[in-house]
Amino acid sequence: MQRLSVIVVFLAFMFAGCRGTESENPPIHPNLNMDFQARFDPQEANEFFADRRAMRPPVPGTIARGLLRADARFYNGQTEGGQFVTEVPVPVTEALLRRGQERYNIYCAVCHGLSGDGRGIVTTGGYGYTPAPTYHDDRLRQVEDGYLYSVIVNGVRTMPSYAAQVEVADRWAIVAYIRALQRSQYGTQADVPAQILPTLQQVGTGSTADGQATGDTTEAGTPGAATSQTNAPATQGQ
């Protein structure tokens, strides 16, 4: 037993002394697995192909997983015939509008204003930018939702494209919120939910487009609400 212990200690010291030893011999691989295989490294030549490239281009028409954009209405804002869609192609919910409000206030309000009147800090601060149009003129109230989406993606005139900053779903959220802003500036008493109307009539001195008192809202640009500060839509040109 004592002899066995001596042998074990000797072997332990022997293997410990091998640590850090340099050798030109290949390492010992008890289990090779896939350490050695017939393969080509990136950018390596391959004589099998006429162009001698080991890295082969994808088959024509190949689309990366998750990037198939077959729904032209959602991704392009257009019908199969190339016309702008007239309505947002996703369900318009309160969550969508609030997301649109958040994205609008980040990317759009600096030029178009929090209420969409075209009087954002960039266009009114004397920075030399062309004034942004108000969303509340008849032309922009009547354009298709797909047109507003296209402007976000491609830009228009002096407005740059925001395709790199705003994701597809968020673009539609912004479009929906712009429509809410437009409706808020021409709101009537019929647009206010019956359970909220008495409360609005008791607060402030605001009025709807039909002249009925409704009271001011607590936040400019709240979806679906008329605000007293912008009862008269701006008529600023483009």
Cβ partners under 8 Å of residue 192, min gap 6: 200, 208, 214, 225, 226
Domains in the chain, CATH or no CATH each = 72-186 (1.10.760.10), 192-225 (no CATH)
Q: How far apart are CA 67 and CA 46, in angstroms?
A: 30
Identify the pLDDT of residue 17.
59
Looking at residue 225, its amino acid is A
Residues whose CB falls within 8 Å of the CB of residue 131, separated by 6 or more in sequence, listed in order: 118, 123, 124, 236, 237, 238
Q: What is the pLDDT along the chain (238 residues), one digit of tens a residue?
A: 677 787 877 777 666 656 666 778 877 777 777 777 788 889 999 999 999 999 998 888 888 887 888 888 999 899 988 899 999 999 999 999 999 999 999 999 999 999 999 999 998 888 888 888 899 998 999 999 999 999 999 998 888 999 999 999 999 999 999 999 998 888 788 888 888 888 877 765 444 444 444 334 333 334 444 343 333 333 333 3
Question: What is the CB neighbour count within 10 angstroms for residue 6?
Answer: 10
pLDDT in the model for residue 9: 75
Q: How many CA atoms lie within 13 A of 102 on its CB side?
A: 8
- Is 163 within 8 Å of 152 (Cβ atoms)? yes
Pick from 91, 69, 65: nearest CA to 78? 69
**Contact at 8 Å (CB) between 223 and 177?**
yes
Q: Where do we find the tokens 């947002």?
A: 88
171 Cβ neighbours under 8 A, 6+ residues apart: 149, 152, 153, 162
